[in-house]
Amino acid sequence: MAVDRNFLPYNLAYLLDLYERFEADPESVSPEYRTFFQTWSPPTQPSEPSVTLPDDISSDQVIASAYLAQAIRTYGHLAAHLDPLGSAPPGDPALNLETYHLTEDILLALPASVVGGPVADGAGNAFEAIRDLKKIYMGTIGYEYGHIHSAQEREWLRHTAECGALRPPQAPVDETQLLKRLTQVEAFELFLHRFFPGKTRFSIEGLDMMVPMLDEMINESAEEEVCMAMLGMAHRGRLNVLAHVLSKPYAQILAEFKDPGQNYTTLDELGWTGDVTYHKGARRAIRGGEQVKMVVWMAPNPSHLEHVNPVVAGMARAASSGVNQPGAPIFYPKATLPVLIHGDAAFPGEGVVAETLNLSQLPGYHVGGSVHLIANNQLGFTTLPHEGRSTLYASDLAKGFDIPVIHVNADDPLACLEAARSAIAYRMKFQKDFVIDLVGYRRYGHNEGDEPGFTQPEMYQKIDKHPSVRTILIDRLLQGGIINPELPAEWMENQMRKLQQILDTLNPEAELFNPPRLNGLTNDHYAVQTAVSRSQLQQMNEDLYKFPDGFTLNRKLEKPIQRRRSALDNPDQPTIEWAHAEELAFATILADGIPIRLTGQDTERGTFSQRHAVFHDPTNGQTFTPLQALPKVRASFEVCNSPLSENAVLGFEFGYNVAFPKRLVVWEAQYGDFINSAQAIIDEFVVSGWSKWNQKPSLVLLLPHGYEGQGPDHSSGRLERFLQLSTEANIRITNSTTAAQYFHLLRMQAGLLEKYPLPLVIFTPKSLLRHPRVASSLQELTDGAWKPVLDDPRNPDPARVTRLLLCSGKIAVDLFEARQADIGMDAAIVRLEQLSPFPRDELEELLQHYAQLEEIVWVQEEPENMGAWSYVRPRIREMLRSGLQLHYTGRAPSASPSEGSMTWHTVNQKQILAEALGLGEHLPQKNYSVRENE
Ligand SMILES: Cc1ncc(C[n+]2csc(CCOP(=O)(O)OP(=O)(O)O)c2C)c(N)n1
């Protein structure tokens, strides 16, 4: 049998030990070894020069030496010198000779082959090999790869660590250039410190090597197939990275520091807030001659630490996906390199980190491997590691995700570059994540105005005396006679002079970004052709439900699919249900050449078994996705079930969308209620990305919403929160009630991607998904358009209507159902299908139409402090003509969105309907209704 090198240990001694055990009892070794030993026997002629063991060396000592070597490889990081401030590493008894009853003399007497690996090749005996192994594993790099499940990867990592191919002299570093780079890094901080004292910049000092490491990663990957590097990072060192890695002009950064804000007009007028300088993103093209060789892109991010991680991953996924052909998108795993820079307190502390790591190997979220760099300054604001995490290392979380880790001392430039090279080499080979824990310190307080001595006096006594990495490098280069002694000072002066000249000649306003204006939406903005011809829809419907030869449809789906097949036969019959309308909308959007990505928990099938975007053959488990098999489309359709996450997955979809806003990206919550697990992504990215960073998101959120007695956490998508966040120009919020409206809305969103992209929140039905009142006719798709306001379908005589029951969403259907045929003719039920931007003109038209109105009753099923009431109330009041009253009917104010019991729900729901419709059904509970104008 061929020996699989992946499970062969380096040292023969270990193998012999195993062989002995196998001979004594074959069951005592693993199945792989058992198979292997069946055809293997110990070499009679050693492959190494033959060594005769001295008489006083036992085979136990040979085995002990092998164990020691193994322990150094596995636990050497515990004794590595990782802290530039010199704290003692924890160490481990497994790394000590005494633990194995070994001595230096014993090791000197043993051959190097008992240690194995490349170190053995150059060593004269086991002592030298162990010494060299310790240099590798217990120097200024700590390797952690023993937890990796794949033997092939472990072998590669071990080989990479030990064979030295990535480190000098095999891979030389131009240390003079490195010094030049570190001079730029340090001069930038010194200059800002001198001219803007105390102003927050979150200096990189103490982790200066971050910049050359990023240079190295970008240059290394530019040599491969990578055409884009996507960076995400928090505040620490960001300005330095922007200046040097993203080539953001010094003038622009200095202008932002000067902040000529007095000439700006007010926030009100612009709707623009911009963001602090250390949150801004940037893009840079690296050219190779005329060609753009690579694009480096740093995403803007909020202060909310680590929340940019999934966003960057989503951006990378979008950049690596080919979408301009029918079927599934084509993913190019090496095309984009995501690099995420984390804080040492934030990485273990913020849950979104784990959520994002969990995305890394999932088919719909894979980005070909991200490189993570923990900017470890050993403090989180004032918090020490033992207060901030329950793990030894800041990086330990990553080990659970099968990610290799390298810890490296930030004061050893060559070790840092080796770590960067290893990360890229691993990522390119295995397309998996890699973590570098860059251990440094923080030169100043949390920010430059902060006094660190209040809380870390001893640490800062050390830091105050600690030389910068540039100084350490200069000393080394001078000692080696590599540079001329005048050079470092000369370079530093030149750099400072350059910055001074830029500052002296600065025209801050010219350098600053000129903010665009936010305009409110007008009716023109939804003047998009959304109707589709009858013949096209009928043809698409036919194509959609043609299954491939040999595909067996689940028996329980035969009838519903048959209903879909025939639903377009009678154009004026309301036979098209909600999910069917969605599929038709998607098909037509793909035919228009717009790619679609649809994700969410259990979204392929749909939480309520309504969608079936993917069919599963019960006889063989094969799948079929009709929207990927349509003949006449020009763009890809991607659909996938998300993992159980809201925060990271929504961040991911936001990133995917904002990187390429002309694709239709739809994310669905399992129930709208769970959206609050992603509140930071909503607040910080979806609704404010435009205002802060001039982004143009067009993400669609589907949030199942409606009161159906399922308790406080399965009722509300928190309409009120979105409405509160809307400025009428940053997001569209809808709560629509018919399949046709949904069809037109999706098509309108797709049609506006180019012209007027806006995030769109659609509160979607649950029990109404198959309700006959919600179903629509083909005619409504072929002739209709999106209507922000829907008048009463009963078409009441305006002369008789004195009460307008104004509402939004499912309660309208409940009102229609509860209203009896011959009564209530004085009331019209009108639906606001769109809440934001508020459809003033359409509502005004209706108020004119119902000229006899005496009262408008806002009816909602949500409690008074929730739902749309607080939002619509001032807007409706503005429109009240003289004598017209505004009233509220709905649930009483409440801390929790709904009742926990179906009975209690039913009582309250009935009461709201009775009150609104004036049915006089006085139920035992307090009848909650607010008389607005009294
Ligand atoms: C989600 C979130 N919580 C709290 C903060 C406040 N905050 C800003 S920086 C910081 C410390 C971060 O420490 P670390 O991750 O080690 O990064 P460092 O600042 O040391 O570079 C904290 C708590 C924040 N910005 N974001």
Ligand 1, atom 7, lies closest to the CA of 381
Q: Is the pTM of this model over 0.85?
A: yes
Q: Which H or E run includes 438?
A: strand 434-439
Q: State the distance from the centre of ligand 1 to the C-alpha of 313, rounded, in angstroms.
A: 21
pLDDT at 534 > cutoff 90 = yes
Pocket test for ligand 1, best of 210, 278, 305 (most atoms within 8 A of CB): 305
Phi-psi bin for 420: left (phi > 0), alpha (psi -120 to 50), beta? alpha
Q: How far is the CA of 282 from the centre of ligand 1 (A)?
A: 22
Atom of ligand 1 nearest to the CA of 307: 1
Q: Which atom of ligand 1 is nearest to the CA of 236?
A: 21
> Which of 824, 721, 809, 823 lies closest to 773, judged by CA?
809
Q: What is the pLDDT of residues 852-873, one digit of tens each?
A: 999 999 999 999 999 999 999 9
Ligand 1 center to 847 CA (angstroms): 52
The pLDDT tens digits of the residues spanning 743-781 come to 999 999 999 998 888 999 999 999 999 999 999 999 999
For the cut 70, the answer to whether the pLDDT of residue 15 exceeds it is: no
Q: Which tokens hold the place of 193?
A: 């410190």
Q: So what's the pLDDT on residue 198?
A: 83
Q: What is the DSSP string of 729-775?
A: SS-EEE---SHHHHHHHHHHHHHHTTTS---EEEEE-SGGGG-TTT-
Atom of ligand 1 nearest to the CA of 306: 1
Residue 346 CA, closest ligand 1 atom number: 15
Instruction: For residue 60, name the pLDDT band (cuts at 50, 70, 90).
Output: confident
Please tell me the predicted confidence (pLDDT) of residue 588.
Answer: 98
Cα dist from 191 to 239, 493, 573, whole Å: 13, 11, 74
CB 230 within 8 A of CB 316: yes
Of all protein residues, whose CA lies closest to atom 1 belonging to ligand 1?
304
**Length of the chain counted residue by residue:** 934
Q: Give the pLDDT score at 525.
A: 63
- Model confidence at 37: pLDDT above 90: no
Q: Which atom of ligand 1 is nearest to the CA of 375?
A: 21
Q: How far is the CA of 305 from the centre of ligand 1 (A)?
A: 6
Average pLDDT, rounded, for the chain = 91
Among protein residues, the one whose CA lies closest to atom 20 of ligand 1: 380
Residue 522: the pLDDT is: 62
pLDDT at 922: 47
Helix axes 151-163, 413-430, angle to 10 degrees: 150
399 closest CA partner among 74, 40, 672: 74
Residues 6+ apart with CB under 8 A from 64: 100, 101, 102
Judged against a pLDDT cut of 50, whether residue 703 lies above it is answered with: yes
- Return the ligand 1 atom nearest residue 442 CA: 20
> Do residues 733 and 829 lie in contact, with contact meaning Cβ atoms separated by under 8 Å?
no
CB 196 within 8 Å of CB 265: no
CA 575 / ligand 1 centre spacing (Å): 54
Higher pLDDT, 510 or 891: 891
Nearest protein CA to atom 12 of ligand 1, as residue: 380
Which ligand 1 atom is the nearest neighbour of the CA of 446?
Answer: 19
Q: Which has the closest alpha carbon to 142: 414, 375, 439?
A: 439
> To 10 degrees, the CA torsion angle through 154, 155, 156, 157?
50
Residue with CA at minimum distance from ligand 1 atom 22: 381
The β-bridge relationship of strands 282-288 and 228-233 is: unpaired
- Mutating to test ligand 1, I would choose from 201, 381, 685 the residue with most ligand atoms within 8 A of its C-beta, which is 381
Split at pLDDT 50, 70, 90, the class of 923 is very low
Tell me how far the alpha carbon of residue 655 lies from the centroid of ligand 1, in angstroms. 22
- Does 8 have pLDDT greater than 90? no
Mean pLDDT of 18-38: 76
Confidence of residue 317 (pLDDT cuts 50, 70, 90): very high
Ligand 1 geometric centre to CA of 342 (Å): 10
The CA 382 to ligand 1 mean position distance, Å, reads 10
**pLDDT at site 933:** 54
What's the gap in Å between 319 CA and the centre of ligand 1? Answer: 29
**Which ligand 1 atom is nearest residue 394's CA?**
16
Which protein residues touch ligand 1 with a CB less than 6 Å away?
236, 303-305, 343-346, 350, 375, 377, 379-381, 446
Regarding predicted confidence, which is higher, 3 or 889?
889
Q: Per residue in 781-802, pLDDT tens?
A: 999 899 999 999 999 999 999 9
39 band by pLDDT with thresholds 50, 70 and 90: low
Query: Are the C-beta atoms of residues 489 and 483 closer than 8 Å to each other?
Result: no
What average pLDDT does range 393-407 have in this prediction?
98
Distance 307 CA to ligand 1 centre (A): 12
Nearest-CA residue for ligand 1 atom 10 is 381
Which of 1-10, 219-228, 271-280, 559-568 is the least confident region? 1-10
pLDDT at 524 over 70: no
Distance 375 CA to ligand 1 centre (A): 12
389 neighbors 376 (Cβ within 8 angstroms): no
Q: Which residues pair with 233 in a beta bridge?
A: 341
Would you give the DSSP letter of residue 91? -
Helix (H, G, I), strand (E, B) or coil at 143: strand
Each residue's pLDDT tens digit, 186-228: 999 999 999 998 889 999 999 999 999 999 999 999 888 899 9
